[in-house]
Amino acid sequence: MNGSDFALHTDKYEINMMYAHWKHGTANDRAVFEAYFRKLPFGNGYAVFAGLERIVDYLQKLAFSEEDIAYLARQEENYDPAFLDMLRGFRFGGTLHAMREGEIVFPNEPLLRVEGTVMETQLVETALLNFMNYQTLIATKASRIVQVAQGDTLLEFGSRRAQEADAAVWGARASYIAGFHATSNMLAGRKFGIPTKGTHAHSWVQGHDTEEEAFRRYAEALPDQVTLLVDTYDTLLSGVPNAIKIGRMLESKGKRLLSIRIDSGDIAYLSKEARKQLDQAGMPYVGIVASNDLDEHIIFNLKAQGAKVNTWGVGTHLITADDQPALGGVYKLVAREKDGRLVPVIKISGNPEKVTTPGKKDVYRIINRTTGLAMADYISLYGEEDVTEGKRIKLFDPLHPYLYKHVSNYTAERLLQPVFEKGKLVYTMPKLDEIRRYHQERLKLFWPELLRKLNPDVYPVNQSVAVYELKMELLRAFAKEE
Ligand SMILES: Nc1ncnc2c1ncn2[C@@H]1O[C@H](COP(=O)(O)OP(=O)(O)OP(=O)(O)O)[C@@H](O)[C@H]1O
Ligand SMILES: O=P(O)(O)OC[C@H]1O[C@H](OP(=O)(O)OP(=O)(O)O)[C@H](O)[C@@H]1O
Ligand SMILES: O=C(O)c1cccnc1
For position 482, what pLDDT does the model report?
74
Q: How remote is the CA of residue 1 from the centroid of ligand 3, in Å?
A: 26
Mean pLDDT along residues 426-431:
98
Burial of 328 (0-12, 13-18, 19+ CB in 10 A): middle
Whether ligand 3 lies within 6 angstroms of the CB of 157 is answered as yes
pLDDT of residue 1 exceeding 60: no
- 310: how many CB neighbours lie within 10 A of its CB? 17
pLDDT tens figures, 246-268: 999 999 999 999 999 999 999 99
Distance CA 329, CA 148 (A): 26
For position 370, what pLDDT does the model report?
98
pLDDT tens figures, 48-62: 999 999 999 999 999
Distance CA 277, CA 263 (A): 18
Topology (CATH) of 3-138+325-481:
nicotinate phosphoribosyltransferase (3.20.140)
Distance CA 315, CA 128 (A): 25
Nearest listed ligand to the Cα of residue 172: 3
Distance CA 215, CA 52 (A): 43
Which residue has its alpha carbon closest to ligand 1 atom 17?
265
Q: How remote is the CA of residue 198 from the centroid of ligand 3, in Å?
A: 6
The complex scores an ipTM of 0.97
> Best of 141, 154, 157, 309 to mutate for ligand 2, by most ligand atoms within 8 A of CB?
157
pLDDT of residue 119 exceeding 80: yes
Distance CA 33, CA 12 (A): 18
> Which residues' Cβ are closer than 6 Å to ligand 2?
157, 160-161, 201-203, 263, 291-294, 313-317
What mean pLDDT value characterizes the chain? 97
Q: How remote is the CA of residue 160 from the centroid of ligand 2, in Å?
A: 8
Q: How remote is the CA of residue 290 from the centroid of ligand 2, in Å?
A: 10
C-alpha dist (Å) from residue 201 to 204, 218, 287, 291, 441: 6, 11, 18, 12, 36
pLDDT of residue 69 exceeding 70: yes
Amino acid of residue 477: A
> What's the CA angle centered on 193, arms 141 and 51, to 5 degrees?
45
Residue 3's pLDDT band, with cuts at 50, 70 and 90, is low
Containing 192, the helix (H) or strand (E) segment is helix 186-192
Distance CA 345, CA 32 (A): 10
Ligand 3 atom with minimal separation from the 227 CA = 3
Strand partners, 366: 376, 412
CATH code for residues 141-319: 3.20.20.70
> Which residues' Cβ are closer than 6 Å to ligand 1?
264-268, 292-294, 298, 301-302, 305
Report whether 288 contacts 311 (CB < 8 A): yes
- Sequence ranges of the domains in the chain: 3-138+325-481, 141-319
Which residue has its alpha carbon closest to ligand 1 atom 5?
298
DSSP character at residue 171: H
For position 481, what pLDDT does the model report?
75
pLDDT tens figures, 217-238: 999 999 999 999 999 999 999 9
Q: How remote is the CA of residue 166 from the centroid of ligand 3, in Å?
A: 18
Residue 352's pLDDT band, with cuts at 50, 70 and 90, is confident
pLDDT tens figures, 289-304: 999 999 999 999 999 9
Which residue has its alpha carbon closest to ligand 1 atom 13?
293
Report whether 136 contacts 104 (CB < 8 A): no
Percent of the chain with pLDDT strictly greater than 90: 97
Which residue has its alpha carbon closest to ligand 3 atom 9?
157
Report whether 258 contacts 295 (CB < 8 A): no
Residue 2's pLDDT band, with cuts at 50, 70 and 90, is low
pLDDT tens figures, 430-472: 999 999 999 999 999 999 999 999 999 999 999 999 999 999 9
pLDDT tens figures, 164-174: 999 999 999 99
Q: How remote is the CA of residue 298 from the centroid of ligand 1, in Å?
A: 9
pLDDT tens figures, 80-92: 999 999 999 999 9
Q: How remote is the CA of residue 232 from the centroid of ligand 1, in Å?
A: 14
Which residue has its alpha carbon closest to ligand 3 atom 8?
157
pLDDT of residue 154 exceeding 80: yes
Distance CA 420, CA 417 (A): 9
Report whether 221 contacts 254 (CB < 8 A): no
For position 479, what pLDDT does the model report?
85
Report whether 108 contacts 444 (CB < 8 A): no
Q: How remote is the CA of residue 234 from the centroid of ligand 3, in Å?
A: 19
Strands 374-381 and 311-314: unpaired
E-strand stretches of 296-449: 311-314, 330-338, 341-344, 361-368, 374-381, 393-397, 400-407, 410-414, 417-421, 424-425
> Best of 200, 291, 316, 322 to mutate for ligand 2, by most ligand atoms within 8 A of CB?
291
